[in-house]
Structure 1
Amino acid sequence: MQIKHSVLGKGDKKVLFDIQMLLYYKQEFDELVKTGEYTFYFLERGQFTSLFSHDFLNRVSFSGLDKTYKKNSDLKDYYQSLLSFCREEKIKACVFTSTGQYWHPDFLQLLKKEGITIALSTADDDTSAIKYCSLPYTKYYDYHFHVGVMYDKEGKTIADVLREHGGNPIWLPLGARADHINQDIRFDNRDIELCYIGNMNPPKFFRISKLKRHFGDRLKLYGAQGNGDRKSLKGIFYKICNKLFRLGYIQKLTEDELLEVYRRTKIGFNLHLVPYKGPSNSRMYELASNGVMQVCDNKLGMSRVFEDGKEIVCYETIDEAIEKIEYYLENEKGRIEIAKAAYLRSKNEYSYLHVMEKILFVLFRNDL
């Protein structure tokens, strides 16, 4: 079986990713290959995901992967072909992203026997997905990069849970893409008082609805599903919820429009599916990278990312969020000070180029 992939670079340090990273991070990888050290390989994800059933993709247990592996000869052929590919190309490290559900431990063990360092990189460990995508698989990897901080409100961290399951966790920020970082920043003359950009998932409806009732048209809502005007069942569902929770108009944005909204916004509201799990969403880094002062939940774990009161403003209840938003809408100087501090922190530490440099340092630190 021929392994479908793309390649970038000509260096001796060869790293394989199971996703087309260049779709989102081309500037970062172009910068990395300029050193002459690296060659990056990117698998065509559809080639191996098509080998799994739809039910499997809806988060089954480890036994589901084992069952698929034992019965699916095409999957075994793909694993063997990929192993041969790694051997022929002299791959030094593999980074498997999003979930461990595609890669059976038997295959991972064969990679290790070839002297290949393997890492799992997950971004949804602050949700229930950790039970399916991370915990059953973490022990089979040399490293597990994770972006979330807190696991529960009693103080247990995601790193604690991964270690309990035999993993070797390393926290990394999710980071902001180079093309989502405003290099020509201004913190004043912003005409949108408050915005929320993101999906309107059911656990968020009550919280956003309360915010909308208070701020009215001062709060602008933007989301991928827009105002629920699609003719799909999901679109109809969002349209009903919009009316039920009186959220008003939710605008869909192109990427250019997204960045323009960031540049015009004074305060960005942020929340997670579970208020005490995380913090880990991309919105947190993009708001900071565009000079938007951020009001966010996840106060318990936030100190790992931003300093409350200096780089971000945290809340525990929506009433507290409303009070703090109103205060900083009146206190322009304080808002700008916090926005500037977060912008500098994000630009200097949390760009995706910095994230990739940390990943590569870990993967190749034994070569130093």
Structure 2
Amino acid sequence: MKKILLFNVLGNTEPLVVGDYEIHSFDYNSFFSGKEKRSLSSLFTWGVNGYNIKRSITANALWVDELYRTRNPIYMKMMDEFVEKFENFDVLVMSSFNFVHPDILKQRLSKPTKVLGFIDDPYSTYSRGIPYLWAFDATFYISPSYFNSVSMRQSLSDWSGGKPTTWWPLVPRPHTKPDNVTDDFFSNRTTSLCYIGNHNGNKVDKLIALKDEFKDEFKLHGRWPLKGYSGLIRALDGKRPLLHRVTSVTNEYRRELYWDTKIGFNMHVSNEAFETGNMRMYEVPAHGAMLLCDKANLNLHEQIFLPDVEACYYESLDEAIDMVKYFSKPENDAQRCQIAKQGFERFWKDYEWERNLLKFLDWTITVA
């Protein structure tokens, strides 16, 4: 049985056995609570700009380096416990971010194979990716595209000097597959369009335009600040407001809404076509809705779902609106259902959670 640290993918759960792997996590939050959090806050009067200290060490390698070089007692205690727990593991996967100083990885954690995840790129690449890269044995990425005409695979090869890298699709938790799927599963749906996602400044203008265009036909949910009214107070800053409260959803309601949705809208953080492959890109087809998604550079979105076969893609919001109108017409519903069905089948064939996890863990063992 191989022992794996899979940090911050499954949360702070008990060890999980999947296949031949015993998977562990690490609760770093316990080191930044109460008095400890207050005592740390004075360490970074430079550069923090309002971040609490826990956010700081997850966001920037400079701040991790400062904690290490000053031998901050709380950080070093955390590192001592981390090393003691994981020094004899087979693989350490730092997925959503890395908080372990590279010197510690090299000097005190030499036995495990160390894999660094690149997940918030291009935005975090130079702040919490590349500075750590020299201390890791291999990398994975979730977005096949990176920037303009450069793929993520090629970029990682250049930055690391050719260290092994792999694509791990961002499907971090199991989905529920309905039993006995028939054609009615794709056709008998009452919600025209939906989007589930957190508040992000680059996206809100597009969501407002969709809400104005489709009104109650467009269901919008997510964890938005100010109890869901953050879109409304944009007016105080001279921005177009969202005259709608955005409410969060339970996992059960999320599943039921997706199962009732005809078209699932998706977009990425970048206004330009940089990254592709966020979690929503898989969630929509996983539930049998037709995916309508923004394109990526080098057409690398086509690597995930085939255009006009398993998903539909748009270059502009106007084009997306036109596509929603097209597929909302009764005479085009059979075409929508066919694309949704093929996207659904592709998800459960190639992107199902446990299958992808095992494939990734098998790969980590081979790069030892």
Answering whether residue 117 of structure 2 is matched by residue 92 of structure 1, we say no
Contact 1:25–1:178 (Cα < 8 Å) also in 2: no
Cα deviation, 1:59-106, whole Å, max 9, x if unaligned, reads 66533322210211332343234323334xx31111112112x11111
Select the residue among 276, 279, 283 that pairs with 1:282. 279
Kindly provide the amino acid, as one letter, of the partner of residue 239 in structure 1: L
Percentage identity across paired residues of the two chains: 26
Cα deviation, 1:25-60, whole Å, max 9, x if unaligned, reads 99xx45x1xx4x322222222145667752572466
Which stretch shifts more, 314-323 or 116-125? 116-125
Match of 1:110 in 2: 107
Q: CA RMSD in A?
A: 2.7
Match of 1:8 in 2: none
TM-score (norm 1): 0.83
Kindly provide the amino acid, as one letter, of the partner of residue 366 in structure 2: R
Change (3 A) 1:168 1:245: farther
Secondary structure, in 3 states, of the residue corresponding to 2:186? coil
Match of 1:83 in 2: 83
Change (3 A) 1:364 1:354: same
Secondary structure, in 3 states, of the residue corresponding to 2:354? helix
Which stretch shifts more, 47-56 or 139-148? 47-56
Answering whether residue 112 of structure 2 is matched by residue 145 of structure 1, we say no
Match of 1:42 in 2: 25
Match of 1:215 in 2: 214
Match of 1:64 in 2: 63
Change (3 A) 1:17 1:222: same
Select the residue among 263, 267, 273 that pairs with 1:271. 267
Distance (Å, rounded) in 2 between the aligned partners of 1:253 and 1:24? 22
Contact 1:176–1:286 (Cα < 8 Å) also in 2: no
Contact 1:48–1:78 (Cα < 8 Å) also in 2: yes
Answering whether residue 153 of structure 2 is matched by residue 159 of structure 1, we say yes
Kindly provide the amino acid, as one letter, of the partner of residue 360 in structure 1: L
Match of 2:360 in 1: 359
Distance (Å, rounded) in 2 between the aligned partners of 1:366 and 1:136? 21
Change (3 A) 1:23 1:75: closer
Secondary structure, in 3 states, of the residue corresponding to 2:150? coil
Secondary structure, in 3 states, of the residue corresponding to 1:250? coil
Answering whether residue 198 of structure 2 is matched by residue 202 of structure 1, we say no
Q: Quote the offset at 1:211 in angstroms.
A: 1.9
Structure 1: runs of 5+ lacking an equivalent:
1-10
Secondary structure, in 3 states, of the residue corresponding to 2:140? strand
Distance (Å, rounded) in 2 between the aligned partners of 1:20 and 1:150? 22
Distance (Å, rounded) in 2 between the aligned partners of 1:176 and 1:74? 30
Structure 2: runs of 5+ lacking an equivalent:
42-51
Contact 2:12–2:25 (Cα < 8 Å) also in 1: no
Contact 1:229–1:239 (Cα < 8 Å) also in 2: no
Answering whether residue 231 of structure 2 is matched by residue 238 of structure 1, we say yes
Kindly provide the amino acid, as one letter, of the partner of residue 63 in structure 2: G
Distance (Å, rounded) in 2 between the aligned partners of 1:119 and 1:342? 30
In the TM superposition, what are the counterparts of 1:305-344 in structure 2 within 5 Å?
305-330=304-329, 331-344=332-345
Q: Quote the offset at 1:340 in angstroms.
A: 0.9
Contact 2:229–2:246 (Cα < 8 Å) also in 1: no
Q: Quote the offset at 1:198 in angstroms.
A: 0.9
Distance (Å, rounded) in 1 between the aligned partners of 2:120 and 2:59? 16
Secondary structure, in 3 states, of the residue corresponding to 1:279? coil
TM-score (norm 2): 0.83
Change (3 A) 1:20 1:321: closer
Match of 1:7 in 2: none
Contact 1:205–1:245 (Cα < 8 Å) also in 2: no
Kindly provide the amino acid, as one letter, of the partner of residue 341 in structure 2: K
Distance (Å, rounded) in 2 between the aligned partners of 1:213 and 1:269? 15
Q: Quote the offset at 1:136 in angstroms.
A: 1.5
Distance (Å, rounded) in 1 between the aligned partners of 2:245 and 2:8? 35
What is the count of residue pairs matched by the alignment? Answer: 338
